[in-house]
Amino acid sequence: MSGNVISLDGLSVSSKDTLTKAMEADGCSSSACGSSDAPEDMDPATWEKVKDHPCYSEEAHHYFARMHVAVAPACNIQCNYCNRKYDCANESRPGVVSERLTPENAARKVIAVANEIPQLSVLGIAGPGDSAYDWRKTRETFRLVHQQLPDIKLCLSTNGLALPEHVDDLMDMNIDHVTLTINMIDPEVGTKIYPWIFYEHKRRTGLEASRILHERQMQSLDMLHERGILVKVNSVMIPGINDEHLLEVNKEVKKRGAFLHNIMPLISAPEHGTVFGLEGQRGPTAAELKKLQDACAGGANLMKHCRQCRADAVGLLGEDRGQEFTMDLVPDEVTYDPAKRETYKEWVAKEREDRRAAAAVAKAETDAAVAEEAAPMLIAVATKGGGRINQHFGHATEFQIFEVDAKGVNFVTHRRCDNYCVGGYGEEDKLELVIKTLEGIDTILCAKIGDCPREDLAAAGIEAIQDYAYEYIETAVSAVYRARRGLPAVEAETA
Ligand code: CLF
Ligand code: SF4
C-alpha cells in the first residue's frame, strides 16, 4: 500500500507541532457545503474568492475553518423552525448560541481564535438573530476585525428582508460572500413557514408578510449579483410544506445568479420549543434529501457539506471548538500573531496540489479501466480534515460519504452519529446507532478500528478497512473500488 502520510516538509519545527496539534484536535472535522469546482472550472477572480472559504469550496472545507460570533441577537421575522431562547452546548443548529457578544468582545475573541487555530480563514455573522437587521453591531464587528486581521474573509448570513439598505456598506467593506435564506418563491408557501415579519415599523402577517419577504429576498439577490458579491442561498427542506417547491426555488435562484444553493434538512424536535417542533413537523430523511438534491441537477450548484452551524461555531466544519473560546477564557489583551496562519497557508497550498494530482491519477486510471455500467459504491470515511483518512472509527461523530463509479469519486453528503466510543470504552447501543447511520453504505475507511466493532459492522454488511490510514480520501476510495471490481491497484505518487 503506498503511504501518503501527511507531508509537513517545509514547515519549521514549531509550526509542525502547531499543525499536528491542529490536525489532531478532538472532534470530527469535515463534511460538506460548497462548490466542488476546482480552479480550472471557474474564472480566476471567483476562484480567489472561494478557494479558502470552507463553505463555498468543497475542497477548502478539508483545510480551512470558520468561526461565527453571536453579535446580532435581534431578528425581524419569525420562522416556524426557530426558537432563539433554546441553548444547549451539544445542540448544533442555526440560531443557537451559548453567549452573546459585543462587537469589541467579538473582535477580541476572533484574534484569540486566529492565534490558536491556524486553519481559520473566515469570520461569519449568522445571528443568533438576523445580521442585516442588527446591522449596527454586524458592521462594527466587521470593521474592528478587518482593522486587525485584514486577511480574514468576512461573511454574513441573513433572511434578506433588511439587506437591500446595506448592500453599499458591504461593497465598502469588501465583503464578497453573503448567504440568503430563501425557503420559498411562492408567498402562499411562505404563509406556512412565517407567521409574521416586522417591516417598515409595522408587524405584518399572512400573505402580506410572505409577499414582502419574497420581494425583498429577490431584490437582495439581484443587488448582490449585480455587484459581483457571491451569494449562497440556504433553504430549509420542510416535508409537506416546501420540499417539492424547492425545485422551483433552485431554478429561480440559479436564474438570478446565485453561486450555490444549500438545501438543508429541517431540524425539528418538541424540546426545541419551535412551532414546527411542537406541532410534530418532521424533518426529511437522508434519502428524501438526496432525492431532492438529485432532482435539482442542472439547476443552481448544490452545496452538500453544510453542517448547519450554531451562531457561535468555531473550527473546521463538523467540529465545534466554541467551548475552548468562551469569553472567560479569552485574555483581556490579545495581540494578533500572523505567523502560524501564514505557515499553515503555505503548507496548504502545497498539500492541496499534491492531493489534486493524486486524485487525478486515480481518476484517470479508473476511467480507463472500469466499464460504464459498473454499479456505484457508497463509501463512508472517518476524517478530522485535511482530505485524509485520519480518524479512529470510535472517535468519529460523523462520516463523510463518497460515491464512486466509473465517472469518478464524488462527495455526496455527511452523516452524523453519536460518539459511540467515549473515553476508549465502546458502548453497544451507540455502535448500533452508528450502524444505523451507515445504512446503505458498503465500506467504511478509517485510521483504526477495533476487532469488536469491525465484526459488528461486518455482520451488518459493512466492511471496515484501516489499510488506507492517513492516505488521501479520493485515492483510497478509488483503490477500494478498483479492488472490488477486480482491477489492478494503481500506485499513486506519494506526497
Ligand atoms: Fe458562516 Fe455561513 Fe459564512 Fe459559512 S456557515 S455565515 S457561509 S462562514 Fe457553512 Fe455553517 Fe452551513 Fe452556513 S456550514 S451553516 S453554509
Ligand atoms: Fe430565527 Fe433566522 Fe428565522 Fe430570524 S431569520 S426567526 S433568527 S431562523
- Delimit the CATH 3.30.420.130 region(s) of the chain: 339-494
Q: Is the CB of 155 under 6 A from ligand 1?
A: yes
Atom of ligand 1 nearest to the CA of 55: 9
Percent of the chain with pLDDT over 90: 53
Range from 69-73, 251-255, 282-286, 427-431 that averages highest in pLDDT: 251-255
As a whole number of angstroms, the distance between CA 386 and CA 299 comes to 29
- Give the model's pLDDT for residue 17: 40
- Smallest CA-to-CA distance from 108 within 75, 77, 147 is with 147
pLDDT tens by residue, 180-236:
999 999 999 999 999 999 999 999 999 999 999 999 999 999 999 999 999 999 999
In this structure, the strands spanning 408-416 and 398-405 are antiparallel
As a whole number of angstroms, the distance between CA 354 and CA 346 comes to 13
For the ranges 89-93, 306-310, 430-434, 455-459, which has the lowest average pLDDT? 89-93
Q: How confident is the model at residue 281 (pLDDT cuts 50, 70, 90)?
A: very high
Cα-to-centroid distance, 59 and ligand 1 (Å): 15
- CATH class (in words) of the domain with range 339-494: alpha beta
Phi, psi for residue 65 in degrees, rounded to 5: -115, 155
Q: Is the CB of 34 under 6 A from ligand 2?
A: no
As a whole number of angstroms, the distance between CA 281 and CA 166 comes to 35
User: Whose atoms come closest to the Cα of 276: which ligand?
Assistant: 2
- Give the model's pLDDT for residue 490: 62
CATH T-level assignment (fold) for domain 33-329? TIM Barrel (3.20.20)
Please say if the pLDDT value at position 119 is more than 60. yes
As a whole number of angstroms, the distance between CA 49 and CA 60 comes to 11
- Delimit the CATH 3.20.20.70 region(s) of the chain: 33-329
Q: Is the CB of 18 under 6 A from ligand 1?
A: no
Overall average pLDDT of the 267-296 stretch:
91
Residue that the C-alpha cell 465583503 belongs to: 175
Please say if the pLDDT value at position 29 is more than 90. no
Testing ligand 2's pocket by substitution, the residue of 78, 196, 213 carrying the most ligand atoms inside 8 A of its CB is 78
Cα–Cα separations (whole angstroms), residue 95 to 284, 316, 353, 398 = 20, 19, 36, 21
Atom of ligand 2 nearest to the CA of 84: 1
Please say if the pLDDT value at position 239 is more than 60. yes
3-state secondary structure of 421: strand
Query: What pTM value is reported for the model?
Result: 0.79
**Averaged confidence pLDDT in the chain:** 84
- Smallest CA-to-CA distance from 392 within 384, 400, 404 is with 384
Q: Is the CB of 122 under 6 A from ligand 1?
A: yes
Overall average pLDDT of the 253-274 stretch:
93
pLDDT tens by residue, 79-111:
999 987 655 444 555 566 667 899 999 999 999
Q: Is the CB of 160 under 6 A from ligand 2?
A: no
